[in-house]
Amino acid sequence: MSSLSVTPLRSIGEVDAGSDLAELIIVAARSEGVDLADRDVLVVTQKVVSKAEDAIEAVDPLDPLSHKPLVEREAVRVLRRRGDLLLTETRHGFVCANAGIDLSNVESGTAALLPEDPDRSARRIRDAVLGRTGVAVGVVVSDTFGRPWRRGVTDVAIGAAGVRPVVDLRGTRDAYGRELQVTEVAVVDEIAAAADLVMGKASGIPVAVLRGLPHEWFADDGERNGVLTDLVRPHSDDLFR
Amino acid sequence: MSSLSVTPLRSIGEVDAGSDLAELIIVAARSEGVDLADRDVLVVTQKVVSKAEDAIEAVDPLDPLSHKPLVEREAVRVLRRRGDLLLTETRHGFVCANAGIDLSNVESGTAALLPEDPDRSARRIRDAVLGRTGVAVGVVVSDTFGRPWRRGVTDVAIGAAGVRPVVDLRGTRDAYGRELQVTEVAVVDEIAAAADLVMGKASGIPVAVLRGLPHEWFADDGERNGVLTDLVRPHSDDLFR
């Protein structure tokens, strides 16, 4: 019975511009009895990454649409409009509502933008945890996106370090010995989704720790895997851009 | 440290037409030391549900495209074509490649179709487990879908019983006391994704057990929640059909 465990870190506390996320995570894990180990994966929500990196802009707290100019500025393309909702492509290549900008779980009168380079954000956290504790974790930065055809939102990965965003099963064989048709699994999106199950949108838990993922999903230090390079689908390969 | 655990059941063994999935799960859980409890969620892959329900058709094992006539028959609409790939809408309302038909992890010369009513499939397993053990589990039937804009596949829910497909956080407040903008979370898709992390496409593990999900996500016996009713986005509400 080798289970995967998904553990929320509840004692991270308030995150502000300049907060040291790696240190907050190390301290919270220690105080909650989570002994971080090699190949644990830390899932960190976009919201606290954006706050720590000061990717925050002022908006009029009395105007529910005051963030719309920011959306127009941050989006490189608008795919669809419906009412107040803009379905946009960001400069990272993500397709999401309102250029990923939202107003929940930030202070009144402010809006959180997406991190400038979420893979770099993940790598900074990974490197800081490694430097201070000697433990080589994977890091996934998660955000909450809608999707076509299916109701509801799910958490997906917008940045990753130390863990391969897409695991290629090409060449592996199924239980009947035939080569698999489905070959590339977006494991970082599944990791982000699993973490959201313990976070709770309302409670504002910003970090979860996954333990028990296959060793071969972890990247060597020298590799520069990332969500932007490995997971964003190239336009030429996309039927819906 | 209240963790979520995700545990694969490795001893399910071969599933054939008429196999009693609930019994196989009960026996495997017992032999693997997993003591099923109320509000555990069993995630069961579409492949074994289709096999047990005999949603299997013969195809020419020497012709890699021999399942294409089945795809044309099972699809109610083709949204896009690229090479051999058809992006289809099924009669359930799912949008997926090749009407959900695939050839991996089934015997040579056969193709697995989607279950006729995956919510009913989930409910049968739930009811059988409840009847034989007295334990009220949730059941999610999962399948592997691609998606636009992001590379790789992830597992999603195609059927559910005993657990709410979409949890509505409307009216709940964020950590700053404001009403949440993002209100509906497709928790069964996140559950299916989490389960896939322990299943491994190649190893053919068909069932995982999730333990530790919030009580309020579970549906009363009287409720008839389902993926088809609650999670498939109505055409009128969809920007990409």
Provide the domain limits for residue B205. 5-54+115-232
Question: Does the beta-carbon distance from A1 to B190 stay under 8 Å?
Answer: no
Query: What is the pLDDT at residue A1?
Result: 47
Flag if A180 and B190 touch (Cβ within 8 Å).
no
Q: Which amino acid is at B11?
A: S
Residue A170 has a pLDDT of 67
Tell whether A147 and A101 lie within a shared domain: no
Q: CATH number, domain at B85?
A: 3.90.1660.10
Residue closest to A114 by CA, chosen among A231, A233, A228: A228
pLDDT digits (tens, 9 = 90+) for B133-165: 999 999 999 999 999 999 999 999 999 999 999
Name which of B155, B211, B185, B143 is nearest A189 in CA terms.
B155
Within-domain flag for B155: yes
Tens of pLDDT, residues A21-66: 999 999 999 999 999 999 999 999 999 999 999 999 999 888 878 8
The residues, any chain, with a CB within 8 Å of residue B151's CB and separated by 6 or more, are A166, A184, A186, A230, A231, A232, A233, A237
Q: Is B73 on the interface with A (CB under 8 A)?
A: no
**Residues A223 and A132 occupy one common structural domain:** yes
Residues B180 and A201 sit within 8 Å (Cβ to Cβ): yes
State whether A66 and A160 are in the same domain.
no
Beta carbons of B22 and B134 less than 8 angstroms apart: no
- Buried residues in B172-188 as b, exposed as e (16+ CB within 10 A): eebbeeeebbbbbbbbb
Measure the N-to-C terminal CA separation of chain B; round to a whole number of Å.
Answer: 43
pLDDT over 70 at A182, yes or no: no
CA atoms within 13 A on the CB side of A67: 26
Q: What is residue B5's three-state secondary structure?
A: strand
* Closest to B152 (Cα-Cα) out of B196, B185, B115: B196
Is B127 found in the same domain as B196?
Answer: yes
Same domain, B16 and B88: no
Which of residues A113, A146, A162 is at a domain's end? A113
B240 in a structural domain = no
Say whether both B199 and B106 belong to one domain. Answer: no
Interface of A with B in 117-176 (CB under 8 A): 144, 147-156, 165-166, 169, 172-176
Let me know if residue A213 belongs to a domain: yes
| Predicted ipTM > 0.90 | yes
Question: Cβ contact (<8 Å) for A87 and B239?
Answer: yes
Q: Which residue from B50, B42, B46 is spatially nearest to B163, judged by alpha carbons? A: B42
Does residue A86 sit in the same domain as residue A151? no
Do A7 and A43 touch, CB atoms closer than 8 A? no
Q: Of B67, B94, B114, which marks where a domain is finished?
A: B114
Residues 94-123 of B with CB under 8 A from A: 94-95, 102-108
| Position B1 pLDDT exceeds 60 | no
User: Could you tell me if B97 and B197 lie in one domain?
Assistant: no
pLDDT per position as a tens digit, A117-168: 999 999 999 999 999 999 999 999 999 999 999 999 999 999 999 999 999 8
Residues A39, A139 within the same domain: yes
Do A93 and A163 have their domain in common? no
Predicted local distance difference test score (pLDDT) of residue B238: 76
Q: Among B3, B202, B9, which residue's Cα sits nearest to residue A182?
A: B202
Select from B77, B96, B114 the last residue of a domain: B114
Closest residue on chain B to A217 (Cα)? B197
Res B22: pLDDT: 98
Q: Is residue B204 part of a domain?
A: yes
Phi-psi label, residue B39: left if phi above 0, alpha if psi -120 to 50, beta otherwise: left
The reply to whether residue A213 touches residue B200, judged by beta carbons under 8 angstroms, is no
Same domain, B126 and B35: yes
The answer to whether the CB of B211 falls within 8 A of the CB of A198 is: no
Pairwise CA distance, residues B228 & B165, whole Å: 9
CA A57 – CA B148 distance, rounded (Å): 30
User: Which residue, A27, A25, A19, A24, is CA-closest to A209?
Assistant: A25
Residue B237 inside a domain? The answer is no
Among A9-13, A59-63, B56-60, B103-107, the range scoring the smallest mean pLDDT is B103-107
* pLDDT given for residue A83 in this prediction: 83
Q: What is the mean pLDDT of residues B69-76?
A: 93
Which of A49-63, A64-78, B61-75, B163-177 has the least mean pLDDT? B163-177
The mean-pLDDT minimum among A74-78, A159-163, A234-238 falls in A234-238
Residue B129 φ then ψ, to 5°: -65, -40
Could you give the dihedral angle defined by the CA atoms of residues A239, B151, A237 and A82, in that order, rounded to the nearest 10 degrees?
A: 30
User: What pLDDT is recorded for position A26?
Assistant: 98
Cα–Cα distance, B164 to A129 (Å, whole number): 37
| Chain B residues in contact with A108 (beta carbon < 8 A) | 176, 178
Please check whether residue A124 lies inside any domain of the structure.
yes
Across the range B35-51, mean pLDDT stands at 97
Q: Does B215 touch chain A (CB under 8 A)?
A: no
Mean pLDDT confidence for B223-241 = 83
CATH number reported for the structural domain that contains residue A177 in this entry: 3.30.1330.100
In a domain, A239, yes or no: no
Q: What is the CA radius of gyration of chain A?
A: 18
Residue A178: predicted pLDDT? 66
pLDDT value at residue B11: 94
Cβ <8 Å between A104 and B182: yes
How many angstroms separate the CA atoms of B222 and B208, rounded? Answer: 25
pLDDT at A36: 98
Tell me whether B78 touches chain A (CB under 8 Å): no
Average pLDDT over residues B112-125: 97
CA distances in angstroms from B4 to A82, A209, B40, listed in the order given = 37, 10, 10
Q: What is the mean pLDDT of residues B62-86?
A: 88
Whether A102 maps to a domain, the answer reads: yes
- Parallel, antiparallel, or unpaired for β B41-45 and B138-145? parallel
Q: At B178, is the pLDDT very low, low, confident or very high (cuts 50, 70, 90)?
A: low
For residue A65, what are the β-bridge partners? none
Is the Cβ pair B197, A194 closer than 8 Å?
Answer: yes
Task: Flag whether pLDDT at B209 surpasses 70.
Answer: yes
Spatial CB neighbours of A63, under 8 Å, sequence gap ≥ 6: none
Count of domains forming chain A? 2
Question: Which of A86, A87, A147, A149 should be substituted to probe chain B, the one whose Cβ sees the most B Cβ atoms within 10 Å?
Answer: A149
Residue A163 φ then ψ, to 5°: -135, 140
Let me know whether A130 and A207 are in one domain. Answer: yes
Percent of chain A residues past pLDDT 70, beyond the cut: 93
Percent of chain B whose predicted confidence (pLDDT) is above 70? 93
User: Would you place residue B172 in the very low, low, confident or very high pLDDT band (cuts 50, 70, 90)?
Assistant: low
The CA distance from B11 to A200, in Å, is 33
Test B178 with A108 for CB contact under 8 angstroms. Answer: yes
Facing B104 at nearest CB: one of A147, A151, A178: A178
